[in-house]
Amino acid sequence: MSEIATATPQGHIEVKNFSLSYETIDGSVEAVTNTHIHVKPGEFVSIVGPSGCGKSTFLNAVAGFLKPTTGTITVDGERVSGPSAERGMVFQQYSLFPWKTVRENVEFGLKMRGMPRSQRERAARTLLGLAGLEAFEKHYPEKLSGGMKQRVGIVRALATGPKVLLLDEPFGALDAQTRVIMQQILTNMWQRLKISVLFVTHDIDEAIFLSDRVYCMTARPGSIKAEIPIPLERPRQQSMMMSSEFLALRRGLMSLIREESLKAMGGEINDLGMQGLNIELHGHSLADVI
């Protein structure tokens, strides 16, 4: 457990001048452009943006799966050159190994590090206990509900004691009730482990409820449109989501995103022959109509 509970916060993510483009037959297409972000050690930061804005692409680059076309990504000053156990990742599709039991899934990272079997079994059990999954250690993932699968996914990513945790719309496939519970669980684990978190979502409420800071991305090619600090007190309760402070943040973020969504949809709207809408495209009144 010693390597899991890191006492001093670390995991300072810095992304400078980042852009990523890929080649197609029609030439190079830019997915993300001119992006700067940073996550302080122990900070919880979310990235929100309209769908297709390249926020997942960006996260995959931070994980080391994609190489930036320009710019640099560093964690604690070290340049990211490929995937590593230092940066734990949680995927929307859970991506648990179906051929491994819940405990074997959690053990996987420790096994890769060469930890002896008995030791990693003990570590995995402790972690599963924290997530309330002890009773399911011998189950195969197929038998679990979506919420349980994703809890295993989070525990598995945390088992190796990474410096940062990257989450790619982890609760997107869950129902609303489960999502709320999962947000609470994630917050608890984050506070206990003092780990830096970079969280990608399209759910504005989720981003505000969880984060210290939210980056809002523009439509494709994605870049940072705004950076919004979330000064809400912790620990946060569900009831907070009705407070005027929360709602004000929500309204602000919502209009930013709508603007971008409409920009992204501008072409479609024209195609549909909805000319009247096009006139007001830049105004917020249209956003409210839609």
Partner 1 sequence: MSSSPAILRHQDDAMPAAAAVTEPTPVPVMTPTPAPPSFGALAGRWYRLNQDSLRATAIGVISLAAFLLVWHLLTTYRVVFFVRFTNVPSPLAVYASFTKAIHDPKFLLHILLSCRRIFFGFSLAAIVGVLLGLIMGRFKLVHEIVFPVAEVLRPIPAIAWVPMAIMLWPTNEQSIVFITFLGSFFPILVNTLHGMSLVDPVLVRAAQCLGARERSIFREVYFPASLPHIFTGLTIGMGVAWVSLIAAEMISGQYGIGYFTWEAYSLVQYADIALGMIAIGVLGLGSSLLIRGAGQLVMPWRAK
* Per-residue tokens: 288: 């409210």
One-letter amino acid identity for 269?
I
Q: Between 54 and 221, name the residue whose CB sits nearer to partner 1.
A: 54
Q: How far is the CB of 77 from partner 1 (least distance, A)?
A: 20
Q: How far is the CB of 163 from partner 1 (least distance, A)?
A: 12
Task: List the one residue from 17, 51, 93, 270 that touches partner 1 (CB under 8 A).
Answer: 93
Question: According to the binding rule CB under 8 A, does residue 91 interact with partner 1?
Answer: yes
Contacts with partner 1 by CB under 8 A: the residue count is: 28
CA dist 54 → 50, 174, 222 (Å): 9, 22, 6
Question: According to the binding rule CB under 8 A, does residue 74 interact with partner 1?
Answer: no
Task: List the one residue from 89, 197, 208, 224 that touches partner 1 (CB under 8 A).
Answer: 89
Count the neighbouring beta carbons within 10 Å of the beta carbon of residue 125. 16
Rounded to whole angstroms, how far apart are CA atoms 201 and 189? 19
SS3 290: coil
Contact track, partner 1, 32-71, x by CB under 8 A: -------------------------------xxx------
Q: How far is the CB of 44 from partner 1 (least distance, A)?
A: 19
Burial of residue 163 (number of CB atoms within 10 Å: 0-12, 13-18, 19+): buried
The answer to whether residues 290 and 272 touch, using CB atoms and an 8 Å cutoff, is no
- Residues forming the site for partner 1 (CB under 8 A): 63-65, 82-85, 87-89, 91, 93, 95-101, 108-109, 112-113, 140, 142, 156-157, 160
